[in-house]
Chains A and B, each alone.
Chain A
Amino acid sequence: MSTEEEALHQRLRASVHYTVGRLCQKVGEDHRREFSRHVIAAIAETTFRQCEIFAKDLEAFARHAKRSTVSPEDVKLAARRSTALLKFIQMKSEALNQEQRDLKKNTGKRKS
């Protein structure tokens, strides 16, 4: 890996760590428990590594469908292992589509 890529990954790792820390803080508050700094670092590192697995899976799914751009369909495939997760992602995808349909409708109305 080039030094540029390494530097990018370091920045991304730090970014992930920050968001993970905040998410864990919220969950901890909801359950009235505290996470040790080590656990937050471990969850952050695991999340970062899981991204590599997701990314490679997504790329493979897109390639299999003869596309070079990863689409929501690929993300749904990546979420197939857990029914609850799949349903959640499908719901979010539907919500995004609905948003876009609403946007198009409003844009259409404004055009004279």
Chain B
Amino acid sequence: MAEKDEDVEFKKEMVRKLLSSFFTEDKTKISGDAVLLMAEMLKVFVQEAAVRSIKQAGSEDCDTVDIEHFEKILPQLFLDF
């Protein structure tokens, strides 16, 4: 059976609730477009974390990507975001 190539996304309403829950003022809102852009940004964040962790695991000749690989790429990830 052919694999359904569905694009995995962060759902718009979930991202809106997530960001809004961290706003410090009641009056702060976020536009629909900004939510969509943030959903994209979060997706990139996760993909970068995943790909960099894989590369780190690869450079250490490990088959499975484990916590220490992720921890090693974390500092640069934070610097880039």
Name A's B-contacting residues (CB within 8 A): 5, 8-9, 12, 15-16, 19-20, 22-24, 26-28, 31, 33-36, 38-39, 42-43, 46-48, 50-52, 54-56, 58-59, 62-63, 68-72, 74-76, 78-79, 81-82, 85, 88-89, 92-93, 96
Interface status of B33 (Cβ within 8 A of chain A): yes
Whether A39 contacts B22 in the complex (CB less than 8 A), given A54-B41, A70-B30, comes out as no
Q: Looking at the complex, which one of A34, A51, A56 makes contact with B42 (CB distance below 8 Å)?
A: A51
| CB neighbours of B80 from chain A (8 A) | 81-82, 85
Q: Are B14 and A12 touching (Cβ within 8 A)?
A: yes
Q: Looking at the complex, which one of A33, A79, A92 makes contact with B57 (CB distance below 8 Å)?
A: A33
A14 CA / B74 CA spacing, docked (Å): 22
A103 CA / B20 CA spacing, docked (Å): 28
| CB neighbours of A16 from chain B (8 A) | 10, 14, 18
Q: Are A50 and B65 touching (Cβ within 8 A)?
A: no
Q: Are B46 and A23 touching (Cβ within 8 A)?
A: yes
14 A-B contact pairs sorted by A residue (CB < 8 Å): A8-B17, A15-B11, A19-B11, A35-B64, A39-B65, A42-B67, A43-B49, A54-B19, A54-B41, A55-B20, A56-B22, A62-B28, A69-B29, A71-B33
